Structure 1
């Protein structure tokens, strides 16, 4: 396959064999899509999840794509315009929260697996909006926009 992965071959190749592979995988893809859609509906519209207006920064890849600096930039922009933002992140045991403290020293950072609970905590501390770092998959936390 000339260095291409099997997935790339199935997705991009125009051969009859690749088309057959795509057709064979289509039912599994449909089942997976239905399961994800059902799961997403369970989290959409959760009552009480809109604690603060929130902006979620994220993407479909993990690590090293620039989410943290972008989230800090948005928090700085909000603060410069008179808002009292908080940055909320999961905190997977690394020092990502310290990066936010270096980039945005005047913006509080709350680390917590439960983004909704973290927003409640931040609101009690005076925040009026939130920037959620790497939160696309956290659907319980209602947001105004996804970036």
Structure 2
């Protein structure tokens, strides 16, 4: 959550948190106003965090619970994405802090599962997220901008 709060603040957006996570939504991001045809565009996120070695040269492979997969692939009014935050194995390595910097180690990756196909799996689905889909403040601004013009993330 700290990672998402930091990039959202830098991007200039606000966060909201649903009281109950029935729809696999941990956090929502909202932009005030806007320049597109949709004012105050929103984006909802399902957050996952892992220290497992799931990186290859081009992607990360994350095993997602089937309920979360099904909740994220629907055609919801507010677009939804899966965000996987990678962290070091040792919790003491997650954060570096000095008088000059606050550094959160590793990064997050995002993917939209909207309109993904149904699966015959009964418990989980392995999702492949391109490593180019790093969730940084510039990328978040680009996603929100697309939503404000009626496009998907």
Common fold by TM > 0.5: no
- Higher relative contact order, structure no. (Cα contacts within 8 Å, ≥ 6 residues apart): 1
What TM-score do you get using the length of structure 2 for normalisation? 0.30
Q: Which has the higher helix share?
A: 1
Q: Which has the higher strand share?
A: 2
